[in-house]
Chain A
């Protein structure tokens, strides 16, 4: 189905103008670069750094919860840990990682020489490190880091110390970066495709990013608006969310989740894209139901705008509202189910091999689907009223975000590392990384379902004695999961340093332009003459 499989490798791009690349070297190369490959690399390393910072905070949380009682932290600091873990993972690790993939892969997959706005691309990236520094620095100001949860609900967020202001500025900057990045991505995809690459011939990864970028352009500004209102409530005497002043704190939740629910799809659609590239490659069959995948992705994106209040079932909505949001939420499971069906149908009777990218992709399908099911359970209003703010919700969103988004990121990283570096990664390290991650992930998060069902509240540093065993298990799992991720770092570094030389197309079943038309690694400037896609 994918366009490139029909494209003849008419000319060899390996020798195209490699010589006119006279970029500065050393550190300045990275600061001034406008090259999509460099910027993609920067995003990916940034994301990896933030992933480990966020992971450290997570371990702070799990250490405190290893045993009942207060062990290491004051409850206030525990709240800072959960808040900052969430903010850093969402805005620092997952989102930038997908933008990194977009930067590297979109031009290569549609046969464009670079992103549409190369200079703006440099800006989009370099806004991130200052934002991250602001965010992390908030730990060191009086009153500490934001502690209102990653959802920074008013009225908590309108009352906290200066750390909250730093957090809000950081979010503003990251939001600006995301919007610029998205404008760039949409423009690149719509205007810079190689001749013959019609929309319906685009690889699915490109499709999912096109839709994600639109989502980002639509909802990041709404988040910016919400946190601006928090800021003016804090400092300029407005009363958007202040009940005593005629505002309404629940209003914040409405505005936040109008952003927040599409945001969770922003974090999963590119993952769907990656998995849709990897599965056909290692099943050696074209993707089953390409067109239905495109439509499913679009309908998920559209539906994501009308389900936000499933995060707010306990705020006292009228029954009609509860019913509407319950059914709308369940409706999303339909296109999601279509996707899972298509992936499985792609593997059906394929000649599959199980290299690391494929393992992560299959792991994704299994474990992500479990997260989808717990989502469906939470969508049932009367059930959610019991489970809201318990560990069941924590289990749900870690199944979709870690086993979903993160596994897809790993899958994509192993898949494209040979292309990016020109070396094969170590299959042994990759397999260990996969299996250990899979096992420890489930050891960590599966017990949380039981904890939630038994009523353990989230975001609390202490708990009743009957929750002790499962919590201890979860902490052991978290330690194992965290340490397993060092294997990924090792695999990446090893692959960059050297290793078996990667051919242009190391994967038998890969048929997109970056594999069929470019050597590994691709030249610094690729596709200066666009390939012709038939």
Chain B
């Protein structure tokens, strides 16, 4: 009987360690999924895109709307210098955004883009973007930053408007590194 009790305890310890490990595994899934997304090219919002075909489709117009958001705690001003642009698919376009640090401390921020409609991201190729790097602003500093992009001509015919929206969030402290 002593033997059973001992081996019971041993087994319990093992199973308990497994469950702890699985708790850790839950958290490990985050970098794991991020890696998968990176490798398979899903969700690559913060990387430079390659543009295969730069044929400009002059017969067609697409309206791009520019939007900007701040995570509530970030004491910045953030706005696009133009609210929209009417362009041809395949045409290289540059728009400027402006950020200003209204606080008395230096703050680093990271912008995350999103698209409406969501699947437009497949055709929205960013060649340069302030979101590829983190931005650090000294107190009171302001900066104008470009986004250079091409809309691929494969964009489905029924889409005439795409909204490009950025959210800036603070990097320091508890904010995780964007991936």
B-binding residues in A (CB < 8 A): 116-117, 179, 182-183, 186-187, 190-192, 217-226, 229, 236-240, 243-248, 251, 254-255, 258, 316-318, 320-321
Cβ–Cβ contact A217 & B169, under 8 A: no
| CA–CA, A248 and B177, complex, Å | 12
| CA–CA, A433 and B101, complex, Å | 70
Distance to closest chain B CB from A289 (angstroms): 30
The one of A191, A218, A229, A320 that contacts B27, using a Cβ cutoff of 8 Å = A229
Q: Chain B residues near A179 (CB, 8 Å)?
A: 19
Cβ–Cβ contact A187 & B11, under 8 A: yes
Distance to closest chain B CB from A168 (angstroms): 14
Q: Chain B residues near A225 (CB, 8 Å)?
A: 23-27
Report the nearest A residue to B4, measured CB to CB.
A191
| CA–CA, A321 and B36, complex, Å | 11
Distance to closest chain A CB from B178 (angstroms): 4
A-binding residues in B (CB < 8 A): 4, 7-8, 11-12, 15-16, 18-27, 29-30, 33, 40, 42-43, 69, 71, 110, 112, 114, 118-119, 167, 169, 173-179
Q: Chain A residues near B40 (CB, 8 Å)?
A: 318, 320-321
4 closest Cβ pairs, A-B complex: A225-B26, A246-B178, A221-B23, A221-B22
Q: List 23 A-B contacts (CB under 8 A).
A: A187-B8, A192-B8, A217-B19, A221-B22, A221-B23, A222-B22, A222-B26, A223-B26, A225-B26, A226-B26, A238-B174, A240-B176, A244-B69, A244-B169, A246-B176, A246-B177, A254-B33, A255-B30, A258-B26, A316-B42, A316-B118, A318-B40, A320-B40
Cβ–Cβ contact A251 & B33, under 8 A: yes
| CA–CA, A251 and B15, complex, Å | 27
The one of B7, B11, B20, B178 that contacts A221, using a Cβ cutoff of 8 Å = B20
Q: Chain A residues near B22 (CB, 8 Å)?
A: 217-222
Cβ–Cβ contact A224 & B12, under 8 A: no
Cβ–Cβ contact B177 & A116, under 8 A: no
Cβ–Cβ contact B176 & A186, under 8 A: no
| CA–CA, A344 and B117, complex, Å | 51
Q: Chain A residues near B42 (CB, 8 Å)?
A: 316-318
Distance to closest chain A CB from B119 (angstroms): 7
Cβ–Cβ contact A221 & B30, under 8 A: no
Q: Chain A residues near B19 (CB, 8 Å)?
A: 179, 183, 217-218, 220-221
Given contacts A179-B19, A246-B177, A246-B179, A258 and B29 within 8 Å (CB-CB): yes
Report the nearest B residue to A185, measured CB to CB.
B15
Cβ–Cβ contact A117 & B12, under 8 A: yes
